[in-house]
Amino acid sequence: MIKIISYIALIFILVSGCRNNNSSAKRIPLAKAGNTILYYDEIPRQVTDLITKEDSSVIIRNYINNWAKRVLMYQKAEANLSSELKNEIEKQLNETRINLIIYEYQQKMMLYRMDTVINNNELESYYAENENSFYLTSNIVKALFIRLPVETPDLNRIRLLARSDNQRDIQELEKLCFQFAEKFDDFNEDWITMDRLLLELNEKITDQENFLKRNSFYETSDSLSVYLIKIYDFRLRGSLAPFEYVMDDIRRIIWNNRRIEFIKNLETGIYNDAIKENELKIN
């Protein structure tokens, strides 16, 4: 066995250097399982690329063993499954092949022919015409979250700045937080769920609606950190979602509707062309 592995390893080392230079060379067999032969050129490139002089025999042996187990299992199954079951498998494989080919063709046609540009007017029109589809199932907020070490110097100044809406105060706050804060996040000024915001806190708030109605600024702490939350705006569950919050969802809906319509028209067009060219006959 050691001699065989060494021989195979030598083949790998010699052939790998000229793999791309002599594609017409005689194929080199490495192993045989039942009536199936494994040739060197069938070894995946990612396997041969791993081979070094030190570990070649191990990698080759493992690959051949795995290959042999799979091939022998297939041969055993092929010999013992009923012809009816194998025919059913062939039908399923053929159906899968047809579906894959159709899918790839549709994707190619969509890439070259389908209009993928969706402007803001389309988004806003869809939003206005389908408001009933965009009511919130969660409370959402626009907020600023700050976490500071309890020993942060001039913490009172940071508290005052965090409450302010003045642009110069906000700029000063950012400078101080970049210097001292463990986390400073305005979530890109986007709407986020209240649940997402509360993940940052060290405590639970069960009545979110009441909390949002009563607090535009909130502070809490533990033994290590001070947590500051500034609520810029909020919407409660059950209310109409802001356009910005659902804009990406609307874009996906419009795109998917276009895709469905494009594929439908593509199928209809091919069908009608086949009729015109007498390629379709229905008895």
Fold of 136-235: Chitinase A; domain 3 (3.10.50)
Q: If you ran DSSP here, which 8-state letter would residue 24 be given? A: T
pTM of the model: 0.73
pLDDT band at 281 (very low <50, low <70, confident <90, very high): confident
| CA proximity to 182, closest of 217, 216, 222 | 222
Residues with Cβ within 8 Å of 254's Cβ and at least 6 positions away in sequence, in order, are 118, 122, 123, 126
- Enter the tokens of residue 139: 């409370």
Q: What is the pLDDT of residues 48-94, one digit of tens each?
A: 666 665 566 777 888 889 999 999 999 999 999 999 999 999 999 99
pLDDT band at 2 (very low <50, low <70, confident <90, very high): very low
Exposure of 180 by Cβ count < 10 A (0-12 exposed, 13-18 middle, 19+ buried)? middle
